[in-house]
Amino acid sequence: MEFVSPIPHKKARIEIIPLIDIMFFLLASFMMVSLSQVHMKGIKVNLPSGLTGDTQTKREYVSLSVDKDGQIYFDQDKVEPNEVYDKLVAVHKTSPSAKIFIRGDRDTYHGDIIRLIEQVRAAGIYKIAFEIKSPSLPSHSGQ
């Protein structure tokens, strides 16, 4: 004798929509954390502001900084102007795809930056970028 249950038999279902929501949340969280961990390799200079530009996050770069007195810094180490070329040639030999970020103080003479660019190009490196300060956006406090 076979009994039929009055309760309908349903198959079990696995809902994946909450799982997708959680995965997107984790992805966004990890992206925000990784973007906040950019290491500054240059010295503190008074950078000029710019309205356009992209934030660089690649870690394989060399920062060349020129302060307002014309002193050159290779990453954070102060170097003499005649030592820059040799250091750049060494960087190009070890990593031909390295990028050079030039950070010039707002009060730096134009000629100091041009001289530095010429040394970078003479060393065989053509991926050069200028670091600028992002403009601070005006706050909308509702006043």
What pLDDT, on the 0 to 100 scale, is given for residue 60?
67
Q: Is residue 52 part of a domain?
A: no
Mean pLDDT by 10 residues, the chain (143 residues): 77 85 92 72 61 56 85 87 88 86 84 88 86 59 41
Q: 6 φ, ψ to 5°? A: -75, -15
Cα separation, 42 vs 67, in Å, equals 11
**Residue 25 included in any domain:** no
Q: Which two tokens stand for residue 141?
A: 């406090």
Q: What is the pTM of this model?
A: 0.52
The structural domain count of the chain equals 1
Could you tell me the residue range of the domain that residue 104 belongs to? 61-130
- Please state, in angstroms and as integers, the Cα–Cα distance from residue 93 to each residue in 11, 86, 88, 128, following that order: 64, 11, 9, 17
